Structure 1
């Protein structure tokens, strides 16, 4: 199955290669997706504390460049540390590696930045099938016609944590309003077949994401 990071990247990227929604924190989401895959792979775990900590279980390479990137960074700096402490670590963000893999597989094209970086890099879609498969699966989960996999629960939880689920899944939500969609996603996440560790990790990261995004805005607005 397509890695969670790659599926999330496509959901958060428009067909023209631009970011899905101004202000969407794609990097935060990708870190969460990467950590969830590492937990499912048995490489890391999270404690059951109120503010969970990361623990290294198996530091051997996975063969997946995105996961191995995260594993190396965690071993270097975050083993035993609170999950919330890594949310703003730009070196942990696997976006460039995700883009490289999607481009190598012919899913996206990389259009380099222009005007000294004022026009950012874009990733126009070349092959829409992988994203469409993800969307079809999530639509079935949201409607209740298919059971959610742990990946599905993770994707939905991260989208909700980024506050873009209602926009990104407008077609797949079956007409649910923002509040009802949130409730449905919470219901799916509560039954995550990936286990408590994945659920705890995503919940902790979503809380950290909200703090990282909201506090600077509040401080800026009050200055």
Structure 2
């Protein structure tokens, strides 16, 4: 399972098959998840001091296909976005109905169910309610151990929690009587040294880029 797929399961309501209230700019969030996934596989990186590329810019380290179509498409696009800032790369990856492609893949594996309908009998719509929640339950249980019980997170959990924290969604993913505690713990993990220095820098840079990509369009829309 991809980090982006885990995110979809967390931010979609199991019964309605629609994004939870307050979830916006989903495509950019998922694009950030793909970028982090590729960084974890050492396919891409963010240039540091002393590297040939300008510091803070995207580097393509390995374009060999991963065998996963969504990731391979992302690699192909990143080949054209090399040398750009992570925020620009996220905008490139957020195109081509990324969420629909990922949701379709989950439905093809019987994790979600595709339900087509029409609004007012005219406008076509698709919902994605849960079909098999076993994997999602495992994700939430793991997040609870980290965000509520205080366990140290693994690398994938750091990435997932950092993205949830960037969108202030951690307390929606883990239901507790003290959502502020969960959000504060998620923020601490997002800002802490829980993984290697190199990976920590990548996660930090990409989640920061996700935050900009998420909120700039919202601010612009509010002022136009």
Query: Which category describes the TM-score, using the shorter chain as reference length?
Result: 0.7 to 0.9
TM-score (norm 1): 0.84
- Contact kept? 1:70, 1:94, Cα under 8 Å: no
1:150 to 117, 137, 155: 155
Root mean square deviation of aligned Cα: 2.6
Question: How many residues are paired up?
Answer: 216
CA distance in structure 1 between the aligned counterparts of 2:154 and 2:140, rounded to whole angstroms: 13
Matches of 2:115 and 2:168, distance apart in 1: 27
Give the match for residue 116 of structure 2.
112
**Conservation of the 8 A alpha-carbon contact between 2:13 and 2:129:** yes
The DSSP-based 3-state class of the residue aligned with 2:45 is strand
Tell me the TM-score normalized by structure 2: 0.83
1:20-57 alpha-carbon deviations (Å, 9 max, x no partner): 12342321221111111111112111123697211111
Note if contact 1:156-1:165 (Cα within 8 Å) is conserved in structure 2. yes
Q: Are 1:212 and 2:213 counterparts?
A: yes
Change (3 A) 1:100 1:47: same
Give structure 2 stretches of 5+ with no counterpart.
none
Give the 4+ runs in structure 1 shifted more than 6 A: none
1:7 aligns with 2:6: yes
Partner of 2:17: 17
Q: CA deviation at 1:14?
A: 0.5
Aligned with 1:57 (options 42, 58, 61): 61
Deviations 1:124-160 (A, max 9, x none): 1100111000000110011345331111111111011
1:186 matched residue in structure 2: 187
Note the residue ranges of structure 1 that are not aligned, 5 or more in a row: none
Following TM superposition, by how much is the alpha carbon of 1:13 offset from its aligned partner in structure 2, in angstroms?
A: 0.6
How many angstroms does 1:118 deviate by? 4.8
Q: Counterparts of 1:70 and 1:7 in 2: how far apart (Å)?
A: 17
The separation in 2 between residues aligned to 1:41 and 1:92, in whole angstroms, is 23
Residue in structure 1 matched with residue 38 of structure 2 by the alignment: 38
Tell me if structure 2 keeps the 8 A contact 1:31–1:93.
no
Distance 2:44 2:220 in 1: 35
In 1, the alpha carbon distance for the partners of 2:45 and 2:184 equals 27
Aligned-pair distance for 1:85?
Answer: 1.2
* CA shift for structure 1 position 5: 1.4
For 1:109 and 1:207, locate their aligned partners in 2 and report how far apart those are by CA, in whole Å: 33
CA distance in 2, matches of 1:222, 1:98: 32
**Structure 2 residue aligned with 1:160, among 150, 156, 165?**
165
